[in-house]
Structure 1
């Protein structure tokens, strides 16, 4: 098993694009996707066909317009950096590293890839090391404004580890087990799809090509305090309203699903153009009523996050009880 320093060196020595200034996120995104698999304690190697869709979506959302067409390149070329272990048909493995297999060859040959055994073992044994590697990769290859979106898209949990983990290495095994039970990487897609890719507060639905931009899946009852990764515990929110929701500036009334702003939320634009215009309005409902936010999660949010008292309005009695 490699030492933490050797693992960090291995990730920092990933070869970049040959020309200076070229943005090539292929290898970093594949590596981050694989780190998330390790964090969830999934098998070391995965067939290319199983992650082809995820790679295409990642490169469509976070790469240049031409990136998705070459999404299979890093699955083959990351091995030349000593960071990827490939298995598959002998005739495929025998070809020169510069001769990249086609998408069809990787799929039909059931070619598998994953971190080498010694790196994989070190990452599984030390969840803090895994988080450090992921954070450094995000810092190295992507602007800070995208870090949260990318981590969410690949299913990585980069929340700060508890103090006892940093001070007591013997606690790392317990922490590693808790990490394996963390976020479901499909939560974001399921919630955004339920709300038809729009913010349920303001209707924001900008897309870049076919990909939604600036939309996030918010947990109503926070994940770190037991909130499940299911649609009734999720809201599709633009980045701004997600931030405001998590700050307790507004909540959602449990029965009629109306927006309730806090008296502490003060805006210079209180009319039809300011954020407070949404106070008292119903959220834009998901396409399936069965995916609507559940009352018990909204009640948790109102009790634990929302900054009471609520602003006065003609809301229903249950909304008034938030005060």
Structure 2
């Protein structure tokens, strides 16, 4: 059986499914779903058909456009990561012995009742080490997703993050403690909010309590954990609501005109038309300093990687 540290390192070593500018969260979402199954004491292996719909729903909500159509890929390709040391497959030998690049389609996985789950050594360690499941979930969430979405993703994947969860090696033993909160540098936030004159660049929200801005956040246009730098051209000053919507891909900012573009997947009632979506087609408030304005390369990344296309047609 693997040690807890070896299991944590295995989760950290998964190859992200990332091609060009596009970010594909298929593997991390499947890992979180599977961690939730372990946490609930469900069987080690699950047929693709058992988890297909839940993975599809996660990709629809938290993935880029059309990512749900490739929901079968992580189920197959996780087996090739780390030489199969993390993910295990069960099914007809003729199918499993295919070259890794010869990926079965969704119909083949269904018809052949292919099942997947953690390798027996990993599964045994996860089930026998208190807090290790939550520790691995924290690692996946912090590595692959922005802070605005982590709790929502964990809830949708049915992973309990509240239990004591960090497994640390000390003098040959393993200790379970509460995970340390990651400290975020306030410098990036301060610089971005100052560049936008302490207001949301979409709706103009600028509430202060005394001299302290309230409900304003510095959003990374290109997410920090995929290489987005802590510089003003990669930041937007957004109220908490628009920050969440931005990271969900409900809207983006057009790289040339700086107009707000809402996704056609964002559906709202009449109140929405006088709320968040009233800003569709309007230019954001821009920093006076040209050097602090959003860079096209970061806005293009967000539009191609996070935004749920297509956007609503602009008539004016």
TM-score by length of 1: 0.50
Residue 162 of structure 1 and its aligned partner are, at CA, apart by 9.3
CA contact (8 A) 2:58 2:156 kept: yes
Alignment CA distance shift 1:90-1:158 (3 Å) = same
Match of residue 112, structure 2, among 102, 109, 113:
109
- How far apart, CA to CA, are the structure 2 residues paired with 1:106 and 1:4? 31
Structure showing greater Rg: 1
- How far apart, CA to CA, are the structure 2 residues paired with 1:76 and 1:121? 21
1:200-256: CA deviations, max 9, x gaps? xxxxxx99666889xxxxxxxxxxxxxxxxxxxxxxxxxxxxxxxxxxxxxxxxxxx
| 1:148 has 2:151 as partner | yes
- Counterpart position of 1:268: none
State the structure with bigger RCO (CA 8 A, min sep 6), 1 or 2: 2
- Counterpart position of 2:29: 29
Alignment CA distance shift 1:156-1:162 (3 Å) = closer
Residue 47 of structure 1 and its aligned partner are, at CA, apart by 0.3
| Unmatched tracts of structure 1, length 5 or more | 173-205, 214-323
Alignment CA distance shift 1:10-1:94 (3 Å) = same
CA contact (8 A) 1:44 1:115 kept: yes
- How far apart, CA to CA, are the structure 1 residues paired with 2:94 and 2:165? 48
CA contact (8 A) 2:79 2:87 kept: yes
- Counterpart position of 1:161: 164
Residue 17 of structure 1 and its aligned partner are, at CA, apart by 3.2
Alignment CA distance shift 1:152-1:115 (3 Å) = same
Residue 16 of structure 1 and its aligned partner are, at CA, apart by 1.7
| 1:120 has 2:123 as partner | yes
- How far apart, CA to CA, are the structure 1 residues paired with 2:68 and 2:144? 17
1:268-305: CA deviations, max 9, x gaps? xxxxxxxxxxxxxxxxxxxxxxxxxxxxxxxxxxxxxx
**Number of residues of Structure 1 aligned to a counterpart in Structure 2:** 178
CA contact (8 A) 2:47 2:114 kept: yes
TM-score by length of 2: 0.52
Q: Secondary structure, in 3 states, of the residue corresponding to 2:159?
A: coil
| Unmatched tracts of structure 2, length 5 or more | 177-249, 251-261, 269-316
| Structure in which a larger fraction of residues adopt strand | 2
Residue 91 of structure 1 and its aligned partner are, at CA, apart by 1.5
Q: Secondary structure, in 3 states, of the residue corresponding to 1:155?
A: coil
Q: Secondary structure, in 3 states, of the residue corresponding to 2:116?
A: strand
CA contact (8 A) 1:60 1:67 kept: yes
Q: Secondary structure, in 3 states, of the residue corresponding to 2:124?
A: helix
CA contact (8 A) 2:135 2:165 kept: no
- How far apart, CA to CA, are the structure 2 residues paired with 1:139 and 1:15? 15
